[in-house]
Amino acid sequence: MRRILLAVTVAAVVLVSAGSAIAASGFEVGVRGAYWFPKLTGTARTTTNGVPETLLDVEATLGMKDEDIPFGEAFLRLGGATLRIGYTELAFDGDRTLADAITFNGRTFTASDNVVSRLDMKMLDGELQIDLLRPDVALANFNIGLIVKVKYVDGEMEIRSALQPATAKDFKAPIPMIGVAAGVGALKDMVRVDARASGIAYSGNHLYDADVYASFAPLPFVRIQGGYRHIDLKIDEDDALASFKLSGPYVGAQVSF
The answer to whether residue 21 scores a pLDDT higher than 70 is no
The answer to whether residue 8 scores a pLDDT higher than 60 is no
The answer to whether residue 4 scores a pLDDT higher than 80 is no
Residue-wise burial string across 222-255, b where 16 or more C-beta atoms lie within 10 A, e elsewhere = ebebebbbbbbbbbeeebbbbbbebbeebebebe
Query: Which of 12-21, 25-34, 107-116, 117-126 has the lowest average pLDDT?
Result: 12-21
CA distance 64 to 74: 31
Query: Which of 8-12, 54-58, 68-72 has the lowest average pLDDT?
Result: 8-12
The answer to whether residue 239 scores a pLDDT higher than 60 is yes
Residues 6+ apart with CB under 8 A from 204: 234, 236
- Please name the amino acid found at residue 112: S
The answer to whether residue 184 scores a pLDDT higher than 50 is yes
Domain limits at 130? 2-256
Q: How many domains does the chain have?
A: 1
Which pTM value belongs to this model? 0.87
Mean model confidence pLDDT for the chain = 90
